[in-house]
Every structure is written in C-alpha cells, then in structure tokens.
Amino acid sequence: MAKEKKVEQITDMEVDFAQWYTDVCKKAELIDYSSIKGMFIYRPYGYAIWENIQKTLDSMFKATGHENVMMPMLIPESLLQKEKDHVEGFAPECAWVTYGGNDKLEERYCIRPTSETLFCEHFKTVIQSHRDLPKKYNQWCSVLRWEKTSRPFLRHREFLWQEGHTMHAAEEEAREETMQMLNIYADFMENVLAMPVVKGRKTDKEKFNGAEETYTVECMMHDRKALQAGTSHYFGDGFAKAFDITYTGKDNKLHHPHQTSWGVSTRMIGGIIMTHGDNNGLVLPPRIAPIQAMIIPVAQHKPGVIEAAEDLLNRLQAAGIRAKMDASEQSMGWKAAEYEMKGIPLRVEIGPKDMEKGQCCICRRDSREKVFVPLAELEETAVRLLDEVHDALYQRALANRESNTKVCQTLEEVKTFMEENGGFAKTMWCGDLDCELKMKEEAGVSSRCMPLVQEPVGDTCVCCGKPAKKMIYWGIAY
C-alpha cells in the first residue's frame, strides 16, 4: 500500500522570512516543540547534523591538544557569585533548583548557563605548579538560560553547545589560545559549513560577562541580518583572582594563571538554514549533511532497476559518501520534493533508460542542475560535485554579504541603508559607549565586531564625528 504522504508547502522566504524559517525547521523534521516554552526537541535529522558538527569540531579540538571533561550541571548560588560581572550577567536568566526530593535545599543551585565558575573551582584543585599548566579542557553539554522569547536553534532556554575552558601560565599563551580557537571556528564555518565569517573583536558593551576581551565570528544571513556564530574569550587573571587559583612558577613564587573560554552551539544550525536555504526548503552544506546522496530508482518495478540502484548505493558508500536509497512506493514527485525539503546535496536517479545508456542522473540540490554521469565515473563525479556544491554555497553566501555591506560615514546614512536595504554598515567609530548606544537607539543597529583586518574607511566616528581609529561593523542581529 502506497503512502499517501504529501510534501507540505512552506511559506516563501520573500513573503515572510521568519515563517519560512520556522516552516523549514518543522517540515525538514529538524526540531519539535516540547510542552515547556523555549525548550525544544532535537529530532533525528536535526540531531544528526549536530553529531556531524561535533565529530569534526571535536577532532579539531583534540588535534590542538584539548581534552574533554564533564562538569556537573548545577552551580551553587555562592559559587556563581564569586565573580561580580559574571553573576550580574547570568543570574537574571538562571533556572533555580530549590528542592531535592521532598527537602528544601539549604542553598539554591542554578542549572549551568555556562560553566566558568565550575571549571574555576576544579582548576583550583588541580593546578598547583607550573608543571600542571596549561590545562586545555572542553565539554559538550547543554546549558540553560531562562529567556523570555524563543526561536528554533537561535534562542532556546536549553541549547546544546561546547564550552572550552583553558588555563595558561603566560598571558601571551592564553592570548594565542583565544585567537587559535577563533581561527578554528572560522576555518570550520567557512570550510565545513560553507558560511563566510567576519572575524573581529566585540566592543566592551557586547563582550562576555567577566571577560577582558571577546572575539567573534559574525555571519550574514539570507535576510541580511547578522548571526553571532561563535565566540572566544580572553579572561586575563580576573577569575583566577576571584577564585584564588595560583600556581608555583619556575621562580618558586605564586602566580595567577591566565584563562580563556570559547563556545559554539546548535545556533549554527539556524545559521546553516538561514544562509543556504531556499523556497524548496533546507539546503545542507555537503560536509555536514547526514545524507550526502539519495539514490532513487526510477520505474523500480522494471527488472534490474532496484539492483542497479543498490549497486550505486554500495559504490558511493564504499567511496566514503554518506548515501541512502529510497525504494519506497512514494511517487517520484514526492521523493524529489521531500529530499529537496531535507536539503540533501545530491539526488541520484537511475532507471531502465539510464541502464541502457550505462549512466545515471545526478541532480544538485543547490542549483537543481541535472547531469548525466557515465556509471564508470560515478564515484569521482559524486565527490567532485559535493565539493562544487560546497564552493557554490560559500560563494553565494559571500556574494550576499559583499553586496549587502556598505561603507557609511554618518548615522543618517546607516539609518537609511538599514531601512532601505539592510546588511552590514561598515564605519569608523570613536570607541565611546555613548555613540554605540545612540546607534542602537537611532538606527536600530548593534555593533557586530571590530574586524581583525582593519581597513580604515574614514577618519571620524560615524556617530559623533570625533577622530576615530577603529573600523567597525553594525547590523541587526539574531
């Protein structure tokens, strides 16, 4: 009995981008809502994307000498309070545990919103000597932030992430670690997720609570809004002092170590959707797609078709490609639409006519372009096409960013650009918080970052007109 499933329509992104986004999240079966507002269920297809992200990033972390650990999920209130800026930033959005079984707790515990305090408490016990440094730890876990609003992948009360926490004897080494991890994130996003990034430093207003410096990778989405896709923080010895973490140096004296932390989350999946998706659904970058090629037999009741399709499946899998086959009784139209919705990079079809000609047909998800491929060239073509899809996605996203980034000299110019076009406004800035606040109030933009690669675009602050040395990006952010 054939299924009677229909591929459900999604809203066009030009009509309502936010609705299009939610439709894709639901209809590509990435995520579902739970009965608690803001807490989401990662469905198998969505979670498989995260597993692929984890696998690649984890190997990059390990290759640079990081070790995984697991800290408790609860933080005693007194521990959270040890660093003043940190607690001020996070306490208002903590979920608090007050009962264990039937007993009221003597002290309440929050579910970790981030784990600096837990790591610091542990560092205090495992760091005594300069020989115990560096400590380069990471953990994969979920964290909770009791947000008022929520959106799939972009803003959850509970989200999955990794948080790296490192301690170093020398300030210089900690600063290098901060930059190394920023570069790893940028490398991963560009070369695996096909998302071009702007690497830069956050303003003091936008930096992480308790950090000395925060670095970020900023991406532009299809709707020209900005997404902060990952951050890397340099802490100096502020937490080390607050937590009384010391080590005996080679000079036999006590010193405070220097600290970093860095993280990326399932928010990147939201970034993938909004960077690459189109009106037919999800478009997945091939290097993290759970299924890279879907084989579909055409006229599969004809003799030999299923076997020919299975042969393609086996060959692609043997070539290291994540391939699957759908020989169900759904119609060809349903299958095409379904696997477009799911964003599978390549659809490989083979039927009796193709078999006669010794070929198959490969359809690219990104361009919907079809090519007929001699069977002898299957593996090399598929590998090449996956790379070409990656490159095309990257180039399209880069073109989107470049054509929607504008150098502006005045607040008025920024305001007009944002109203009429949207994107990144590239300006000079004096560095004053007042100007940053005024930009938000009058042009509706927040500072995204001061790019590491500074190209002066003028001499004076876009807002106050005073002399300025910093080039900065502004935008409307998720």
Q: How far is the CB of 24 from its own copies (least distance, A)?
A: 18
Question: What CA–CA distance (Å, rounded) separates 14 from 37?
Answer: 28
Between 43 and 175, CB nearer to its own copies? 43
Between 1 and 254, CB nearer to its own copies? 1
Between 99 and 441, CB nearer to its own copies? 99
Question: What CA–CA distance (Å, rounded) separates 153 from 344?
Answer: 20
Q: Is the N-terminal amide bond of 134 cis, ω within 30° of 0?
A: yes
Spatial contact of 300 and 325, defined as CB atoms under 8 Å apart: no
Tokens of 47: 């979670």
Burial class (CB in 10 A: 0-12, 13-18, 19+), 103: exposed
- Interface ranges with its own copies (CB under 8 A): 1, 3, 32, 34-36, 39-44, 47-48, 50-51, 67-74, 76, 79, 91-102, 108-109, 111, 118, 121-122, 125-126, 131, 137, 141-142, 144, 146, 157-158, 160, 250
Angle, CA 313 vertex, CA 57 and CA 25 arms, to 5°: 50
Spatial contact of 288 and 49, defined as CB atoms under 8 Å apart: yes
273 φ, ψ (degrees, to nearest 5): -60, -50
Kindly state the greatest CA–CA separation across the chain: 81
Between 292 and 359, CB nearer to its own copies? 292
Between 36 and 453, CB nearer to its own copies? 36
Closest CA to 221 of 180, 277, 280: 277
Question: What CA–CA distance (Å, rounded) separates 213 from 262?
Answer: 11
Q: How far is the CB of 78 from its own copies (least distance, A)?
A: 9
Spatial contact of 165 and 70, defined as CB atoms under 8 Å apart: no
Q: How far is the CB of 34 from its own copies (least distance, A)?
A: 5
Q: How far is the CB of 77 from its own copies (least distance, A)?
A: 11
Between 95 and 361, CB nearer to its own copies? 95
Between 110 and 439, CB nearer to its own copies? 110
Q: How far is the CB of 258 from its own copies (least distance, A)?
A: 20
Between 165 and 224, CB nearer to its own copies? 165
Q: How far is the CB of 134 from its own copies (least distance, A)?
A: 13
Burial class (CB in 10 A: 0-12, 13-18, 19+), 372: exposed
Q: How far is the CB of 122 from its own copies (least distance, A)?
A: 6
Our measurement of the distance from residue 320's CA atom to the centroid of its chain's CA atoms, rounded to an integer in Å, reads: 25
In the three-class reduction of DSSP (H, G, I as helix; E, B as strand; rest coil), residue 420 is classed as helix
Question: What CA–CA distance (Å, rounded) separates 140 from 381?
Answer: 36
Q: How far is the CB of 101 from its own copies (least distance, A)?
A: 5
Burial class (CB in 10 A: 0-12, 13-18, 19+), 93: middle
Question: What CA–CA distance (Å, rounded) separates 128 from 81?
Answer: 24
Helices (H), 229-285: 238-242, 267-276
Q: How far is the CB of 299 from its own copies (least distance, A)?
A: 23
Between 52 and 460, CB nearer to its own copies? 52
Between 7 and 220, CB nearer to its own copies? 7
Q: How far is the CB of 251 from its own copies (least distance, A)?
A: 12
